[in-house]
Structure 1
């Protein structure tokens, strides 16, 4: 008899998960909530249809078991046709962005737009052929510099 995985099951292992539908995307979105990254860590390789961000995500899956941690992760989106953004000053080399959520808007199934909502009224809009998102931890966790979990007032 098999049992569904629980959120807590991944608490100590590096994440390597994907999303191919809206339900999957909700899980990935919750795991990247409050991730921070320098604007220069975004890459779009148009000829390959790939968009990626190296981000420092808060380890929400770890709960309140110990000192809050972050881990560097790669958020990768495949089958990307175009990328646009608002509220991001590309000339500011040291700009740090904070990812709040990700949503998928179907336009002509399975095509649509993946919206990455950023703190401070910023957003990144990816036109995709189909939803294909992956999130992979690439470093060991480290103590969050603030030593606190992010909070939203």
Structure 2
């Protein structure tokens, strides 16, 4: 997926703000199912786009070992299993879907974690939200907030993120729920 960076001034007509693509989906028998959602691909170049990505990643689960900071490439990558919120439960089985997905955030100058045991590579994290806190110009901090109070804070030159599903969906009987008390 190629898109222009928000770090460079762009003509609003020339660059779509949100790039989304889905491919054809085949059911378990190999027949094309035109009603099912295929793999998701999104790009974020501003706060509104990042909010769309955050919505798709709510309740995604990942292991601490699936978080990578690549300082030479100025990139952070998070590989996770996201819950597919934009699709209803199967009418027959009442099962939902999860998909293996990757979130790549570019233009990262620093990454800090709080309340996450970084040496516990098999520890599971549940992502609640991805937000942006602006500073000067287009720079700021992309914050990943996890259940239990853990956070990952990324210092970025600008918002430049990509979310992509990595493979086929699988079914799960479990739908995330939150106790609001």
Same fold per TM (> 0.5)? Answer: yes
Aligned partners of 1:151 and 1:104: how far apart in 2?
Answer: 24
The yes-or-no answer on 1:78 pairing with 2:125 is no
Which of structure 1's runs of 4+ aligned residues deviate more than 2 A? 63-66
Aligned partners of 1:36 and 1:87: how far apart in 2?
Answer: 16
Cα RMSD (Å): 1.5
Q: CA 1:49–1:14 in structure 2 vs 1: closer, same or farther (change >3 Å)?
A: same
Q: Number of aligned pairs?
A: 143
Residue matched to 2:115: 87
Aligned partners of 1:46 and 1:27: how far apart in 2?
Answer: 26
Q: Whose strand proportion is higher, 1 or 2?
A: 1
Residue matched to 1:149: 175
Equivalent pair of 1:11/1:61 in contact (CA under 8 Å): no
Stretches of structure 1 that go unaligned for 5 or more consecutive residues are: 1-8
Q: Classify the secondary structure of the residue corresponding to 1:100.
A: strand
Residue matched to 2:60: 35
Q: Classify the secondary structure of the residue corresponding to 1:48.
A: coil
Aligned partners of 1:71 and 1:27: how far apart in 2?
Answer: 17
The yes-or-no answer on 1:105 pairing with 2:133 is yes
Stretches of structure 2 that go unaligned for 5 or more consecutive residues are: 1-33
Offset from partner CA, 1:52-75 (integer Å, 9 cap, x none)? 011000011113345211000010
The yes-or-no answer on 1:25 pairing with 2:50 is yes
Equivalent pair of 1:57/1:70 in contact (CA under 8 Å): yes
Residue matched to 2:5: none
Equivalent pair of 1:77/1:134 in contact (CA under 8 Å): yes
Higher relative CO (Cα under 8 Å, sequence separation at least 6) belongs to 1
The yes-or-no answer on 1:136 pairing with 2:161 is no
- Pair member with larger Rg: 2
> Once the 2 structures are TM-superposed, how far is the Cα of residue 10 of structure 1 from its aligned partner?
9.2
Q: 1:16 aligns with which of 41, 57, 78?
A: 41
TM-score, normalising length: structure 2: 0.76
